[in-house]
């Protein structure tokens, strides 16, 4: 076991912008990871035993602390107990739902009174509209409707507790849904009759295989036609720089003349980079190269327990800044278009603000795709984050040195459990159907880890304490401000993103004063970004805010901007071109004389790290 973290000294303070008040700041330090709040107690060797015990509990519980949910139920129940009017309202709502069900029974041709949510596909089979299945379905939806009403915010009830109570109620209901039981699900009964029960035996085989993979942590090889480096992540290029944290890929030009300013893409470290270089038809990298851009991509390592002490500052300084140094050496004397996706966009925003503060003018523009800088409205993921939960995760990571992607994936899946968990389980285990292979499915299964210290730092300083937009986030001992960013910024939000909700992404406009373009595109966190030209059913909204313009709220913005059909990629490419300056001959791959000789072909070696 490692020694417990040392008790930190008095936190640094810095004058606020008015120069009068002293405010605490968070600095990206080089000391070992510690939990600022939990470290307030005197250090004792017995704390190692406590952390180890909690780490085992966290592993068994999938990294989810029950404290916050227990507290939420208690808060909700106490407020409900002293609200007789609310109780009467819920009784009346239950009576109304019961009357609707009775009306459906007495009028068979009447439309069903309750509809599944748009993302709920459990009741798509047409036989759910026949009796007795329709009554079971409608009864379930009636109870779901009642709980949605019962967990609405009440006077005095903390909003986060109301949301957590609703989440827990939904989890219990989803577990008991009639679609999960073979004798109540008409689709399973029909499949069993047609296949003579073969679907159930195939489903049991799928279950046994999945359970074995979960227990042994084995991974299936990529299906035929989805091989990394051949079918996925196959845009030609060379690795031109490598350290212990990342590889830098420079993609081969496809045009003789290119835009003078190169593009550096910073993906999130919680994913393999090739979500942006997926199949040839939907590869953002391939599209940019074909438009005449010189493109560089960071490919993060998949950290192990030996890299548990990698910090957020390491990812900024030895990651983004080291990549920028390489790009500026290979393509000298011109600013760089920096692009960040998801948390890669957050670290890019931190980097850009730090560079602006320090007078570093090597950026020509900044693009933030589905990236948040303010985390007050960070969506349903905040249900999992409070002091107790983060401490629980820290104990889990203290034991194993990192947070494994399956532990994160379970939290993401639980947010849409009716579709991502139960619908899939019915398909595999009761209908006996294999998952259809897809490029994004293969990428999604190619899991990554996060080093313990870095994960703890960004959860606390960004998600929990929201220090970046509160003027309390410091780099190298000095506070940074997003409003210092002076280069043009292009921001992309996606309509149905539950990881980075678009209204939260939109708030980048609230904390910056620069020339800014904002795009809202159809789709979710990944699908909205992968919106290549020709993708059917796509649309987007776009606006331009000049430097110094007044702020417009997201709902007012939505009302004032109509959707345009098609992909947002050409709009972005045109924006980059307008900011790109002159056209020049394509540069060589790497710069051996400056220490950036090509090392190996794309996609490099880090993308294959298990």
- Does residue 445 carry a pLDDT above 90? no
Contact 471, 26 (CB under 8 A): no
pLDDT for res 235: 97
Measured in whole angstroms, how far is the alpha carbon of residue 183 from the centre of its chain?
37
**Mean per-residue pLDDT, 204-231:** 85
Q: What is the 3-state secondary structure (H, E, C) of 213-263?
A: HHHHCCCCCCCCCCCECCCECCCCEEEEEECCCEEEEEECCCCCEEECCCE
pLDDT digits (tens, 9 = 90+) for 316-355: 999 999 999 999 999 999 999 999 999 999 999 999 999 9
Paired tokens of 460: 């606390």
User: Rounded to a whole number, what is the distance in angstroms from the first to the last CA of the chain?
Assistant: 25
Per-position DSSP letters for 184-197, written without gaps between them: T-HHHHHHHHHHTT
Burial (0-12, 13-18, 19+ Cβ within 10 Å), 193: exposed
d(CA 35, CA 43): 12
Contact 599, 238 (CB under 8 A): yes
pLDDT for res 224: 87
pLDDT for res 214: 75
Q: Which residue has tokens 């985390």? A: 375
- Does residue 184 carry a pLDDT above 70? yes
The answer to whether 342 is a known catalytic residue is yes
Burial (0-12, 13-18, 19+ Cβ within 10 Å), 59: middle
340 membership: H or E segment, kind and range: strand 336-341
pLDDT for res 220: 75
Least confident of 376-390, 417-431, 592-606: 376-390
pLDDT for res 394: 72
Paired tokens of 204: 């049991």
**Mean per-residue pLDDT, 456-461:** 86
Length of the chain: 610
DSSP state of 372: -
pLDDT mean across residues, the chain: 86
What is the percentage of the chain residues whose pLDDT exceeds 90? 63
pLDDT for res 368: 98
Instruction: Give the CATH H-level superfamily of domain 237-608.
Output: Alpha/Beta hydrolase fold, catalytic domain (3.40.50.1820)
- Does residue 215 carry a pLDDT above 80? no
d(CA 364, CA 324): 12
Beta bridge partners of 337: 263, 365
- Does residue 423 carry a pLDDT above 50? yes
What is the percentage of the chain residues whose pLDDT exceeds 70? 84
pLDDT for res 15: 37
- Does residue 477 carry a pLDDT above 60? yes
pLDDT for res 334: 95
- Does residue 108 carry a pLDDT above 50? yes
Paired tokens of 321: 């800044």
- Does residue 412 carry a pLDDT above 70? no
pLDDT for res 390: 73
Q: Which residue has tokens 């005197």? A: 42
Q: Are strands 489-494 and 478-479 parallel, antiparallel or unpaired?
A: unpaired
- Does residue 563 carry a pLDDT above 60? yes
Banded pLDDT at 522 (limits 50, 70, 90): very high
Contact 21, 30 (CB under 8 A): no
pLDDT digits (tens, 9 = 90+) for 140-175: 999 999 999 999 999 999 888 888 899 889 989 999
pLDDT for res 141: 96
Banded pLDDT at 28 (limits 50, 70, 90): very low
pLDDT for res 181: 94
Q: What is the 3-state secondary structure (H, E, C) of 378-444?
A: CHHHHHHCCHHHHHHHHHHHHHHCEEEHHHHHHHHHHHCHHHHHHHHHHHHHHCCCCCCCCHHHHHH
Banded pLDDT at 541 (limits 50, 70, 90): very high
Q: Which residue has tokens 């720089």? A: 241
Beta bridge partners of 340: 266, 368
pTM of the model: 0.84
- Does residue 401 carry a pLDDT above 70? no
**Mean per-residue pLDDT, 171-194:** 94
Sketch the domain layout of the chain as residue ranges. Answer: 68-194, 237-608
Distances (CA, A) of 219 to 381, 407, 446: 26, 15, 9
**Mean per-residue pLDDT, 250-260:** 95
Contact 287, 296 (CB under 8 A): no
Banded pLDDT at 5 (limits 50, 70, 90): very low
Contact 482, 476 (CB under 8 A): no
DSSP state of 564: E
- Does residue 18 carry a pLDDT above 50? no
d(CA 511, CA 561): 21
- Does residue 403 carry a pLDDT above 90? no
Contact 346, 507 (CB under 8 A): no
Contact 3, 285 (CB under 8 A): no
Which residues touch 280 (CB under 8 Å, ≥6 apart)?
A: 234, 235, 286
Least confident of 122-136, 168-182, 432-446, 505-519: 432-446
More confident residue, 589 or 68: 589
d(CA 145, CA 162): 15
Banded pLDDT at 259 (limits 50, 70, 90): very high
Distances (CA, A) of 242 to 249, 341, 410, 595: 9, 21, 32, 11
User: Given 234, 301, 328, 342, which residue is catalytic?
Assistant: 342
Distances (CA, A) of 347 to 24, 423, 463, 477, 536: 21, 35, 13, 17, 32
pLDDT digits (tens, 9 = 90+) for 345-367: 999 999 999 999 999 999 999 99
pLDDT for res 221: 78
Nearest to 570 by CA among 291, 265, 260: 291
pLDDT for res 11: 41
pLDDT for res 381: 66
pLDDT for res 21: 36
pLDDT for res 367: 98
Half-sphere exposure of 343 (CA within 13 A, CB side): 18
Q: Report the 10 Å Cβ neighbour count for 578.
A: 10
Can you tell me whether residue 368 is helix, strand or coil?
strand
d(CA 266, CA 319): 9
């Amino acid at each position: 076991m490692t020694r417990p973290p040392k008790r930190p000294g008095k936190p640094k303070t810095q004058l606020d912008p008015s120069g009068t008040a002293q405010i605490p700041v968070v600095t990206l330090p080089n000391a070992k990871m510690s939990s600022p709040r939990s470290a307030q107690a005197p250090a004792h060797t017995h704390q190692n035993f406590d952390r180890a015990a909690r780490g085992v509990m966290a592993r068994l519980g999938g990294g989810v602390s029950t404290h916050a949910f227990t507290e939420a139920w208690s808060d909700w129940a106490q407020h409900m107990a002293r609200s007789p009017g609310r109780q009467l309202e819920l009784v009346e709502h239950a009576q109304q739902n019961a009357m609707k069900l009775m009306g459906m029974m007495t009028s068979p041709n009447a439309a069903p009174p309750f509809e599944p949510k748009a993302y709920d596909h459990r009741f798509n089979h047409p036989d759910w509209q026949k009796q007795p299945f329709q009554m079971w379905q409608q009864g379930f939806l009636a109870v779901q409707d009642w709980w949605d009403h019962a967990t609405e915010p009440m006077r005095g009830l903390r909003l986060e507790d109301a949301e957590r109570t609703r989440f827990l109620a939904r989890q219990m209901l989803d577990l008991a849904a009639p679609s999960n039981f073979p004798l109540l699900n008409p689709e399973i009964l029909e499949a069993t009759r047609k296949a003579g029960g073969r679907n159930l035996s195939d489903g049991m085989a799928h279950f046994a295989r999945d359970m074995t993979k979960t227990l042994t942590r084995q991974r299936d090889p990529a299906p035929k036609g989805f091989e990394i480096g051949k079918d996925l992540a196959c845009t030609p290029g060379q690795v031109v720089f490598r350290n212990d944290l990342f590889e830098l890929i420079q993609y081969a030009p496809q045009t003789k003349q290119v835009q003078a300013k190169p593009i550096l893409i910073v993906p999130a470290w919680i994913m393999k980079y090739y979500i942006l270089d997926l199949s040839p038809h939907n590869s953002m990298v391939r599209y940019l190269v074909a438009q005449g851009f010189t493109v560089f991509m960071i490919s993060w390592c998949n950290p192990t327990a030996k890299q548990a002490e990698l910090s957020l500052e390491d990812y900024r300084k030895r990651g983004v800044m080291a990549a920028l140094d390489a790009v500026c050496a290979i393509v000298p004397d011109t600013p760089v278009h920096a692009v960040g996706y998801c948390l890669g966009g957050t670290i890019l925003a931190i980097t850009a603000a730090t560079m602006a503060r320090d007078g570093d003018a090597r950026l020509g523009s900044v693009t933030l795709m589905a990236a948040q800088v303010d985390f007050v409205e960070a969506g349903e993921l905040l249900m999992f984050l409070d002091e107790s939960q983060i401490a629980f995760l820290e104990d889990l990571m203290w034991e194993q040195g990192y947070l494994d992607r399956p532990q994160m994936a379970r939290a993401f899946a639980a947010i849409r459990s009716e579709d991502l968990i139960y619908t899939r389980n019915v398909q595999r285990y009761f209908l006996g159907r294999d998952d259809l292979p897809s490029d994004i499915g293969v990428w999604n299964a190619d899991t990554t880890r996060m080093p313990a210290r870095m994960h703890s730092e960004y959860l606390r300083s960004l998600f929990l304490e929201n220090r970046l937009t509160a003027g309390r986030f410091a780099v190298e001992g000095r506070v940074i401000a997003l409003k210092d960013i002076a280069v043009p910024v292009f921001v992309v939000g996606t309509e149905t993103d539950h990881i980075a909700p678009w209204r939260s992404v939109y708030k980048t406009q609230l904390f910056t004063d620069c020339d800014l373009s904002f795009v809202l595109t159809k789709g979710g966190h990944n699908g909205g970004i992968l919106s290549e030209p020709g993708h059917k059913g796509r649309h987007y909204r776009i606006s331009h805010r000049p430097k110094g313009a007044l702020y417009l709220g997201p709902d007012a913005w939505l009302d004032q901007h109509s959707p345009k059909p098609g992909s947002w990629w050409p709009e972005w490419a045109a924006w980059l071109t307008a900011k790109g300056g002159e056209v020049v001959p394509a540069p060589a791959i790497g710069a051996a004389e400056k220490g950036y000789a090509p090392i190996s072909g794309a996609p490099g070696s880090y993308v294959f790290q298990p």
